[in-house]
Structure 1
Amino acid sequence: MPALLDTTPCPSPRWLPEGHSQTIFAALFARHHHASFVRERVDTPDGDFIDLDWTAPGLVPAAAAASGARLPDPLPQPTDNALVLFHGLEGSSQSPYAQAITQYFRSRGWSVVIPHFRGCSGEPNRLPRAYHSGDSKEIGFMLDTVRSRLPDARWHAVGVSLGGNALLKHLGEVGTAASWLTAAAGISAPVDLMAGGSTLGTGFVNRQVYTQMFLRTLKTKTLQKSQMFPGTIDILRVANARDLYEFDDAYTAPVHGFTGVTDYWTRASSKPVLGGIAVPTLVLNARNDPFLPGRYLPGTHEASSQVLLHQPAQGGHVGFSSGRFPGNLSWLPQRIATYFRTGA
């Protein structure tokens, strides 16, 4: 059976009339609650590390920081429900959407953990590699790690933007092996990386606002990494990259085993494997998303019957602000929670 399609609108304010304003305002100005975390560092099988930020009943971040303590094992008050949240490109547990989602579920008694992709937790990782949009193997390691901390919880997974594509790709590849998850959600996931990358390379706002924002930190991290690993990175090409196509072709693709950016964007996209998803999964994409316009979104015939494609006309890229000025980010976590509770 094909996936189901939901076109119920997101209640975007009239003062945010289109995709760019909805995207930028949510990222910079919309109100949200703030969550605090206790950090756990986990070594990876290849000699690197990932940092996981936890919040759960009984965890007191301030006290843990003062004592230098790390995550207790086991957690002091294991909860019935747990959420793992994968952030987007150059995001972290401090990103506004991550804070809003975390606070919503934590206030309802859930344990929440945000694994940071390599190099995104505030400290350089140990290897020449970093992370990429199709890193489904890394997603699998992160999922296994957090599950081992709360093996009896009802686990749910959310991925946002890049993290959403990587999560959906993992779910599509492993099928029923992910059935221990109660439900999942991919939010504003660029499921067609070729289309999304090309879109970000065209138009003034895409090139001069979004692309430059990403390149600013990506280039800095990569050039610092080149000093740690001399001769492994084409410094000149990275420094001169004008868009994500050129950056990914110079660094992301070769360092992660792809022959070039076309090979990377093609093989890392989750859209071709949505039909293999066996876990109830919400795939939420606004049709006016400036990173991946509606014409590139999957149709019901491209996803399994376990998938609900929610494609509202408005919302932007991880925007979904609502309410009177200055707006808030409450609609997105509520939408996720509704799906987790009802499957619709």
Structure 2
Amino acid sequence: MPLLESRLPSPPPLLRNGHAETLFAGLLRRPPKLDLERERLELPDGDFLDLDWSRSGSRRLALLTHGLEGHSRRPYVLGMAQALRDAGFDVLARNLRGCSGELNRLPTAYHSGETGDLDQVLHHALARGGYESVVLVGFSIGGNQTLRYLGEDPDRVPGAVAASVCISVPCDLPSSERELARRSNRIYVLNFLKTLREKLREKNRRFPGLVDPERLEAVHDLHTFDDLFTAPRHGFRDAAHYYVAASSRPVLGAIRVPTLVLNARNDPFLPLECFPEAEARANPMLFLETPVLGGHVGFVPPRPGPYRSETRAQEFLARVLGLPPAMRG
């Protein structure tokens, strides 16, 4: 019954609120300075992915996936990258299509349930680096993609994948979208829509007629944006179909590698449906930890240092991989 009792320390007193911790981590965190080497991976469909590497010659690799409208150099990605480098891993942080600072080439983009690109990056990394083991780490929708990848077709997951850590995961997308639509979450939705609209305006210039410009300017929430673009351009009937089909919760029972889902109870993006307790009880490989405090990709530490999600990832991976506590490479 892998429902884990959380022993994470609390954030500073002023941040013991889901919104405060989310906003502090997203806007005020100073990222660690980490040297990264960028690689462009050309894809069979004519598009590309930009990858950021941090290598020390380890035989273990951590593959990181950011969240909605994030990128590989966001503070939460760099913080985890530094923590796992310190723990003896090489690190590869991938950018979803169109998220590296350059718009992708095709009329499509990325979506919350897309797993083919993760599979291609993983096989590329294994072929290039000759790694003995790989761990997958995903944040928010990057966590949803990671969980879907592990559960939708476990036979295609390479044997080198040894474990996974997924943080602040909206594993039930229909309910998470409804939660985001609340007035209290308007600031986050507006932030997402700002960059989503900008990218789609540019795509419309490259591909005239891709979407109706007037409808695009009238978009006021994520459901409307997904109805206009994400769903029809990625093979879904509409936004409602997309949210159901792309959710990872229905496939959690099939995951075969030790996987930690770390979702805070005060995450403003996550309703009760995003805490898969029944699935964790039924699958000995799925570990669910639900601390009271943490916000969305927050987990601010009580004092300067690694964030609580980063130290928790280190601890979990050390235990399931049978590594010493210091996890030296």
TM-score category (smaller protein): over 0.9
Give the one of 106, 128, 131 matched to 2:107.
128
Q: Which amino acid aligns with 2:175?
A: A
Equivalent residue for 1:318? 297
TM-score by length of 1: 0.88
Contact 2:26 2:75 in 1 (8 A): yes
Paired with 1:6 and 1:277, the residues of 2 have a C-alpha distance of 21
Query: What is residue 56 of structure 1 aligned with on the other side?
Result: 55
- Which residue of structure 2 aligns with residue 192 of structure 1? 172
Paired residues for 1:22-41 under 5 Å:
22-41=21-40
Aligned mate of 1:333, from 297, 305, 310: 310
Change beyond 3 A, Cα 1:338–1:330: same
Give 3-state SS (helix, strand or coil) of 1:322's partner.
coil
Relative to structure 1, the CA distance from residue 322 to residue 262 in structure 2 (aligned partners, 3 Å threshold; closer, same or farther) is: same
1:172 partner SS: helix
Mapping 1:83-232, distance limit 5 Å: 83-178=62-157, 179-204=159-184, 206-207=185-186, 209-232=187-210
User: 3-state DSSP class of the match of 2:230?
Assistant: helix
1:82 aligns with 2:28: no
Helix, strand or coil at the partner of 1:79: coil
Give the Å deviation of 1:329: 4.4
- Indicate if the aligned counterparts of 1:31 and 1:329 stay in contact, CA closer than 8 A: no
The list of structure 1 runs, each at least 4 consecutive aligned residues, that deviate by more than 6 angstroms after superposition, is none
1:334 partner letter: T
Q: 1:23, 1:317 within 8 Å by CA — same for their partners in 2?
A: yes
How far did residue 43 of structure 1 move?
1.0
CA deviation vs aligned residue, 1:85-117 (integer Å, no higher than 9, x gap): 001111112111101011122234421111110
Matched residue of 1:184: which SS?
strand
Cα drift, residue 224 of structure 1 = 0.5
Q: Summarize deviations over 1:309-330 as a string: whole Å, max 9, x none.
A: 0111110000000124xx5543
Task: Report the CA distance between 1:13 and its aligned residue.
Answer: 1.8
Counterpart CA distance in 1 for 2:145 and 2:274 is 17
Superposition map of 1:229-244 within 5 A: 229-244=207-222
1:335 partner amino acid? R
Aligned-residue offset at 1:35: 1.6
Distance 1:203 1:328, change over 3 A: farther
User: 1:148 offset after TM fit, Å?
Assistant: 1.6
Give the SS at the match of 1:182.
strand
Aligned partner letter, 1:236: E
State whether residues 83 and 306 of structure 2, in contact with CA within 8 Å, keep that contact through their aligned partners in structure 1: no
Compute the displacement of 1:151 (Å).
2.4
Q: CA RMSD in A?
A: 1.7
CA distance in 2 between partners of 1:335 and 1:261 (Å): 34
Q: CA deviation at 1:238?
A: 2.0
Q: Deviations over 1:164-212 (max 9, x none)?
A: 00010010112254232111111111101101111111123x11x1000
Residue 251 of structure 1: how far off its partner (Å): 0.8
- The question of whether the paired residues in 2 share the 8 Å contact of 1:321 and 1:328 is answered with no
Q: Is the 1:91–1:120 contact (alpha carbons within 8 Å) kept by the matching residues of 2?
A: yes
Retained in 1: the 8 A contact 2:66–2:77?
yes
TM-score between the two structures when normalised by the length of structure 2: 0.92
Asked whether the equivalents of residues 172 and 247 of structure 2 are also in contact (C-alpha less than 8 Å), the reply is: yes
Equivalent residue, structure 1, for 2:327: none
Q: Deviations over 1:42-71 (max 9, x none)?
A: 1111110001111112xxxxxxxxxxxxxx
- Partner SS state of residue 13, structure 2: coil
The change in CA–CA distance for 1:221 and 1:316 in structure 2 (over 3 A counts) is same
Aligned residue pair count? 319
Question: In structure 1, the residue corresponding to 2:137 is in which secondary structure?
Answer: strand
- Of residues 261, 270, 280, the one that matches 2:248 is 270
1:287 aligns with 2:265: yes
Decide which of 320, 323, 327 is 1:343's aligned counterpart. 320
Q: Which residue of 2 aligns with 1:62?
A: none
CA contact (8 A) 1:97 1:329 kept: no
- Counterpart of 1:153, as a letter, is E
SS class of match (1:323)? coil
Alpha carbons of structure 1 residues 10 and 143: separation in structure 2 relative to 1, 3 Å? farther
Q: Is the 8 A contact 1:3 1:301 kept in 2?
A: no
Structure 1 unaligned regions, length at least 5: 58-77
2:8 and 2:90 map into 1 onto residues whose CA distance is 29
Paired with 2:273 and 2:110, the residues of 1 have a C-alpha distance of 27
| Gap runs ≥5 in structure 2 | 322-329
